[in-house]
Amino acid sequence: MTRSVGRIFSGFRCFGSLPFGNPPLKTQCSSVLFRTTSERTLMHALPKIFGRKPRDFSLPNSSWGKEMMQLYNHYNRLSKETTEGQEDHGEQWTRLPSYNRTLKYATGGVYLSKIIQSKARLFTRNIRDPGASFEYVIFFRQDKLKCACIFQAGHLLEGAPGHVHGGAIATMIDTITGTHASLLSAPVMTANLNINYRSPIPLGSTVLIESILDKEDGRKRYISCRVTSTDGSKLHTEATGLFLSISVSHLLKR
């Protein structure tokens, strides 16, 4: 299979340098590309694999409620507007795009994820049905000292009747604090996460999850987090996390 894939990509290189008016060269490249049935099958699949435009799950969809859209528009305005005549001290916000699996859309990552890890999916983006589970969008300040996540919990995240499962809340806390840490020094891994649940989150409601960088110490990033109602009047959950920056080689170990 490795040799087959190698021959296929050799064929791509051949096509890339192919003069359209040279039939002998076309014939030679075809013999490289289509030696086996399995290779022909893979070649037919490649345009669908590599040509599909990735879906950004952090953009509004029909399932977003009023509060979700209001907060999204609020941070979106802050991401585009800078007060005229004032200096930007890092208080402008930036929206983070979010895909099924970020690796797929990094340079070269599509090959790893689609061919080698074809069944892998980012957990919070695994359900494609809008509004069924994790609906969220993350914004970060340009100085990277703070992140804000707007989270709407779908019906698949039920724990206690009518309320969001504590594990789903922990997942979102780990997601935003981990994302925040990775903005500071990617890649990172969660070393410790302490969560205190203060009040339950009604299923289907929208909450604001804010993370703040508390301290940096060598490879360590200490981040605190609060989950509140959209107007900030009610505290649902608070947490602290410790994240360690690691090398890429560490991630590739099996």
Tokens of 167: 């594990």
Check whether 13 has a pLDDT greater than 60.
no
pLDDT reported for residue 25:
40
Check whether 21 has a pLDDT greater than 50.
no
Check whether 81 has a pLDDT greater than 90.
no
| 181-188 mean pLDDT | 89
Domain boundaries, the chain: 2-50, 57-81+89-252
Q: pLDDT tens digits for 30-59?
A: 444 444 554 444 444 444 444 467 789 999
pTM across the whole model: 0.73
pLDDT reported for residue 29:
42
Greater confidence (190 vs 31) lies with: 190
Lowest mean pLDDT across 58-67, 92-101, 127-136: 92-101
Residues with a catalytic annotation lie at 174
Check whether 124 has a pLDDT greater than 60.
yes
Q: What CATH number belongs to 57-81+89-252?
A: 3.10.129.10
Tell me the range of 11-15, 16-20, 35-39, 184-188 where mean pLDDT is highest. 184-188
State the chain's mean pLDDT as an integer.
78
Check whether 187 has a pLDDT greater than 90.
no
Amino acid at 150: I
Greater confidence (123 vs 231) lies with: 231
User: How far is the C-alpha of 188 from the C-alpha of 178, rounded, in Å?
Assistant: 7
What confidence category does residue 3 fall into, taking pLDDT thresholds of 50, 70 and 90? Answer: very low
Q: pLDDT tens digits for 132-176?
A: 999 999 999 989 999 999 999 999 999 999 999 999 999 999 999
pLDDT reported for residue 247:
79
Lowest mean pLDDT across 108-117, 123-132, 160-169, 217-226: 108-117
pLDDT reported for residue 182:
93
